[in-house]
Amino acid sequence: MTTTNWTHPPTTPDEFVQRLRQLGLSEYTDRLLAMCRHSVRLLPDQTDGRRTQLGGKPELPEETPWPVTDGRPLSFIAQVDCSELPTLDDGPLPASGLLSFFYDGVEQAAWGFDPTDADHWRVIYTPPTTPSAIRDFPPDLEPTGRYEATTLRPEIEWTIPPWESFAVEELGIGRAADGYADVFGDSDSLIHRLLGHPEPVQGDMQHECQLASNGIYCGDSTYTESARAQKLLPASSEWRLLLQVDSAEDLGMMWGDVGRLYYWIRDQDLRDREWDKVWLVLQCS
């Protein structure tokens, strides 16, 4: 096996193919290439005029209540102005309007493997024709759940399927998947991402989203004994990343132990704008 010292994931199809060849995985090239997706990388960039941001205060319609869970307010995580985004062929987001992302950042008790976690996050869409204004933090939102703001600059970025993922598992790579893990290199970059493939910290999330959103606890391996779970698992492929938010210590955002938040949505729910069907997973090292 070729020793590699790549410091970043492949950024082009040609680079990806070359790495697969070096790792002895050429037989999987066509199938892996077919699974690659473009994404929108969201890069911190303090530029006036942008509404896409991480942290700070959200813009919401006056009649939209600040989302809560168990009687306490959720933390505002990010806002995406869809009109500021580049167009992706495989990303059916609205052409305009605001997507506002919330999570229980104070408690961080919801990790996504328990069906009862569902009330601990929210995604709110505000159409461009609906008046909105910057909303102050609720008085009872703890300081640890209020984050500094930074605007975000969107850039198209090519992404490859994670090595520990339902998609790669379905290829039947088997033990060769350990070699495939080397294709990503040793990057420790801070990555906020819209659509495309995620950078997992602890492995596959599509199984988790599929089962937990259907009422099946998957915090351990007991689900493997459930006939209903086994029947549901093939549809894990319908889940795709909506938004990945990295820990950003300078903004006061720390997900577990330097982890990431991942908002997931089914393909059909994305096309139908069913934002209330988003599922969230928190992973950390």
**Residue-wise pLDDT tens digits, 206-241:** 999 999 999 999 999 899 889 999 999 999 999 999
pLDDT over threshold 90, residue 192:
yes
Per-residue confidence at 203, pLDDT binned at 50, 70, 90?
Answer: confident
pLDDT in tens, 42-54: 999 987 789 999 9
Per-residue confidence at 1, pLDDT binned at 50, 70, 90?
Answer: very low
Quick count: other Cβ atoms within 10 Å of Cβ 187? 11
Tell me how far apart the alpha carbons of residues 69 and 71 are, in angstroms, rounded to a whole number: 5
Q: What is the largest CA-CA distance in the chain?
A: 60
Contact 124, 95 (CB under 8 A): no
Contact 256, 268 (CB under 8 A): no
Tell me how far apart the alpha carbons of residues 262 and 240 are, in angstroms, rounded to a whole number: 10
Contact 110, 117 (CB under 8 A): yes
Quick count: other Cβ atoms within 10 Å of Cβ 198? 25
User: Would you tell me which CATH number, out of the four given (3.40.50.300, 3.40.50.720, 3.30.870.10, 2.30.320.10), belongs to the domain 13-283?
Assistant: 2.30.320.10
Tell me how far apart the alpha carbons of residues 244 and 19 are, in angstroms, rounded to a whole number: 25
Give the range among 110-114, 132-136, 178-182, 234-238 with minimum mean pLDDT: 178-182
